[in-house]
Amino acid sequence: MPPEQITASSKYSVKRLMMIAAKLAVTGVLIWYLLSKVDLAKSGEHLASFDVGWGLLAVLALASIFLIASVRWRIYARALKIPLGKGIAFRIYLISQFLGQVLPAGIGNDAVRVWLLARHGNAVGPSASSVVLERLTGLIGNIVLIAALLPLTFTYIDDTSIRLVVILVVAICAAGIFALFGISFLPHLMTKWRSVAMISRLADIASEARRASFMLKPAATAFLLSLSMHLTAVLAAYLIALGLDLELSAEACLALMPIVLLLGTLPISLAGWGVREGAAVTALSYAGVASSEALTLSILFGLSLLTVSLFGAIFWLFQRRSTVLTRVNEKKSGNEAALQ
């Protein structure tokens, strides 16, 4: 390997290690802070009295979210001419969710999806674009839902400073999305900043996003699927609240949980742990939910997600076994051909 490539690889490894360390630090600090502020004995009591039946319903609801997400992803994959069957899309999505939970923080589930698509013979560029577009549609759906529910949300949140923070977060996310799509309409900016690798890649994705999104029916379908996913996630949280026998109404859950889910997607901690719990404790306090109860709800929500993703581990193991058997058979056939 040339010295230049070795140097570049070393820099990438150092950067990834620093990212992992930063996420570990953020997760650790947030969890430590929450544990120091929450009555753990009460949280333990809530866990012990949890009705597993409601938990199973929550797991089923979250499993349906993964299924819907794979359908949404397939819409963009087909728009970008990537052959992706329904079954394969769902399996890859579950595998990516599992590996995204257990692999180091520098390797996200999105990267796993791109890698698995590439292993099926698809080009990396369009594969990455399909994943980014699927993610962006999810973010857009979340932002639109939060914006539509702001009047309801603000009936619970009466703190002016917190209201401004919520509006600012929604505005920043919306501005970022509009900026990304706007790049594709400004060729002179795309040309000017091509030397910057990230801008160049974003420009390519923006162009592909514009082409894919201009197919109105698929884009509208993907958006509606996103809304249904976020509403189902809120339903899952409410089912867990019922299992914990919390005094949390469906209306309050609908008003506050979308914000928690949005903050939980921020890539600053390990699989959202710590951030989601802190957001839940803060947000649900405006509905009169105790911090120990909100923490327990958020932990069970995360564990439910992890439970669903474990099915991805099964698919991953079967896929690896199938790959190994294929290689063994190919080697055996090659040896037999050589002997003849």
pLDDT digits (tens, 9 = 90+) for 203-259: 666 666 666 555 667 778 999 999 999 999 999 999 999 999 999 999 999 999 999
Please tell me the predicted confidence (pLDDT) of residue 8: 47
Q: How far apart are CA 54 and CA 101, in angstroms?
A: 24
Please tell me the predicted confidence (pLDDT) of residue 120: 80
Cβ 124 vs Cβ 114: under 8 Å: yes
Residue-wise pLDDT tens digits, 152-196: 999 999 999 999 999 998 899 888 877 776 665 665 555 555 555
- Determine the average pLDDT of the residues in 330-335: 48
- Mean per-residue pLDDT of the chain: 81
Q: What percent of the chain has pLDDT over 70?
A: 77
| Domain locations in the chain as residue ranges | 20-326
- Determine the average pLDDT of the residues in 32-38: 83
Q: Is the pLDDT of residue 117 over 60?
A: yes
Please tell me the predicted confidence (pLDDT) of residue 339: 46
Please tell me the predicted confidence (pLDDT) of residue 231: 97
Confidence of residue 110 (pLDDT cuts 50, 70, 90): confident
Single pTM value for the model:
0.83
